[in-house]
Structure 1
Amino acid sequence: MARAVDTSPSSSLRQNPWLRRAVPLLVVVVLAVLPLVLTENTNDTLARIGVFAVAVLGLNVVMGYTGQVSLGQIFFVGLGAYVTGYGVQQGWNVVLAFLAACLAAAVAGLVVALAAARLGGLAIAMVTIALPIVGVPLAKRLSDVTGGSQGLSARFAEAPEATGLYDDQWVLYVVLVIGGAVFLLTRALVRGKYGRAFAIVKGNEAVASSMGISPYRYKVLAFTIASLIGGISGFLYMFVIQYTSPETMSFGHSIELLAAMVIGGAGSIIGSLLGGAYYVLVPELTNQVDSSLTALLQGVILLAVLFVLPGGLASLLRRLTRGRRRSGAGSGAAAPPTTPLSTAVSGTSAEEPGKERQGHA
């Protein structure tokens, strides 16, 4: 039976090696030039979008890709910000402050995951909810380190004179480099062996166990990676905003982060970027309409997006791509063979039934 030829743009991109190399190069060139031609306010806005896009990405690792409820991601963002601010005030090198923020968030996430990953459903939700609820009063009480209710400020984002850049340009470049590296590494993770294991654990933990995949191990891994990414987002938050307070890790912000992930698209790299844009831009727009109705308008937007696009904004791109593929496919085309999940995780090819019978004969 004849098989249809995929003439979609994505298929052409995969088949043409020159296009595969040119598109990433074009993206890098655009990102390299962008901070130089935009205004200061626009650079600041893009930098803040990058900060929260990384935070949404971390939440996506544990919820979108692994299917585990986490309502405390904002706690690790705040922890990374506090560690960064404290380190800068103590005269630490920027690199040291970055590593300390990553390590503190990862260790805290690992400790929580070792206990929470054995739970499920409502129980794990309650554990993660406790993080921002406990974090806010704890930050207020540890005033010698956190500045208490007054918060903590640290300025270390001045552009080096040798670069010839303005401060807003330098900040955006740093966010693009660090955030871009986090997105590329996370993309490689979720598209590799660990990502396939995450997907099986998300689908059915009993099936995962029967395939030799430990749900507990991979849930702990996902929580720890998400916490690490949250710490990186906290470092970038302090680098861009240069101020943090107990309000940074409040439970309300945690819910807003969750809404941003859902609207952008759960289990999607592009959705994390869209979620970061939603987190920053939509509150500003609703405040301009009526500051007293900000929460109401954001709720209406959330319901409208989920009603039209249950998979979030990222699903719109997938729908368009599928529509182009269907229009380019022949009506009598045979569907391509599918690969079992067990084969995808193990990386081995399935044996043909005829050959298997011959081997047993």
Structure 2
Amino acid sequence: MSTLSSLSRTRWFRLALVAAVAVLLVLAPLVLPVFANQTLVRIGVYAVAVLGLNIVMGYTGQVNLGQIFFVGLGAYVAAYGVTHDWNIVLVFVAACLLPGVVGLLVALAAARLGGLAIAMVTIALPIVGVPLAKRLSGLTGGSQGVSARFSGAPDWSGLYDDQWQYYILLLVTAASFLLARNLVRGKFGRALTAVRKNEAVAASIGVSPYLYKVLAFTVASVFGGASGFLYLVAVQYTSPETLSFGHSIALVAAMVVGGAGSIAGALIGGAYYVLVPQFTNTIDPNFTTISQGVVLLAVLFLLPGGLVSLPRVIRRLARRRTTRPPREDPPRTTSAWPEETERQAQS
């Protein structure tokens, strides 16, 4: 156990593991059926959304219950660009930039708030976004939504459309996770951690809590827009239902189940968001909400750090079991009465 544990901590082992996973992800759409490719694509879509939410909530400790608003906004921007024949790179940049600007404006007003106040501000985003999307029918298609089909796989690629979509998503998702990893492991991430732990202490060492809250919220909005772009690539349709507040709460639950304050936890959260409803719907569609609640409560009680902390918990329990001292019989006590002492010695 100790040899395996020490091996898993070596740099070369981690690099080999990452390389193996990368090769599997690249080869997966070439051998898997269409349904499996579509499932992996949807996991990537919501993993990027949870990743942004994790930066603002898991690393900064700032409440954000409106992440789905930025996902929907990114999807609408992408749909507008596709229907107007924009270049796909321009579509992606616009789908990230506009939600980032809106997130910056919201953060400038809301970052000074705390607790319940900022929660109410973020809750208002999807609540206002749904009727707004229905009213702006010229841009959004109203209640019917808007379909926007990306061009199929180019002839030179030799790929099917679902495989082409998969590789677009893989590229954007990998870039998003790499960017987030570099952010949280650098000076920016250390500042976010300081703000989360104690704002007064952070301010005393030259870290502005207001500035970094604004930056974290803006970065999370950009990731939400990227997720919206990927959503349109995968589904090729969006509607006001995309901005539903219920989806935003589900994203928060996915972040908690995966592991708050963890990059890998965002990927687990995306898988939870997609796979658990798929599994429960095959059994009983009415069981989906109940099962999600049961999983969330079980994780909160048994694994407060999320599913990403499960290997660490297992290693800790195994280490505690191997280092536990052997049980010894209690020493015999000598009685103060001579007759009792003699009887104990004879026994």
TM over 0.5: yes
Q: Do the aligned partners of 1:8 and 1:324 also contact (CA within 8 Å) in 2?
A: no
2:298 counterpart (304, 307, 325): 304
1:96 counterpart (87, 90, 94): 90
Q: Counterpart in 1 of 2:187?
A: 193
How many residues are aligned here? 325
State the Cα deviation string for residues 94-148 of structure 1 (Å, max 9, x = none).
1111000011011011000001111100000000000000100000000000000
2:71 counterpart (71, 77, 84): 77
The Cα of 1:309 is off from its aligned counterpart by: 1.4
TM-score after normalising by structure 2: 0.89
Q: Counterpart in 1 of 2:110?
A: 116
The amino acid of 2:42's aligned partner reads R
Q: What is the correspondence of 1:1-361 to structure 2 with a 5 Å cutoff?
A: 7=2, 9=4, 11-15=6-10, 17=12, 19-323=13-317
For 1:102 and 1:189, the matched residues in 2 are separated by 17
The Cα of 1:327 is off from its aligned counterpart by: 7.5
The Cα of 1:155 is off from its aligned counterpart by: 0.5
For 2:65 and 2:321, the matched residues in 1 are separated by 41
State the Cα deviation string for residues 145-199 of structure 1 (Å, max 9, x = none).
0000000110115111111011111111111111011001101111111111111
State the Cα deviation string for residues 18-41 of structure 1 (Å, max 9, x = none).
x35433322221111111111110
Q: Counterpart in 2 of 1:355?
A: none
**Structure 2 CA distance for partners of 1:106 and 1:21, relative to 1, 3 Å:** same
Aligned CA RMSD, in angstroms, stands at 1.9
For 2:180 and 2:50, the matched residues in 1 are separated by 12
Identity fraction in percent: 66
For 1:8 and 1:137, the matched residues in 2 are separated by 58
State the Cα deviation string for residues 58-104 of structure 1 (Å, max 9, x = none).
10000001000000000000000000001100111111110000110
TM-score after normalising by structure 1: 0.86
For 1:15 and 1:142, the matched residues in 2 are separated by 54
3-state secondary structure, aligned to 1:107: helix
State the Cα deviation string for residues 213-264 of structure 1 (Å, max 9, x = none).
1000110010000000000000000000100000101111111111111111
The amino acid of 2:35's aligned partner reads N
The amino acid of 1:113's aligned partner reads A
The 10-residue stretch of structure 1 (235-244 or 304-313) with the greater mean CA deviation from structure 2? 304-313
Unaligned runs of 5+ in 1: 1-5, 332-361
3-state secondary structure, aligned to 1:271: helix
The amino acid of 2:312's aligned partner reads R
3-state secondary structure, aligned to 2:289: helix
The Cα of 1:324 is off from its aligned counterpart by: 6.0
The amino acid of 2:252's aligned partner reads L
Unaligned runs of 5+ in 2: 326-347
The 10-residue stretch of structure 1 (62-71 or 157-166) with the greater mean CA deviation from structure 2? 157-166
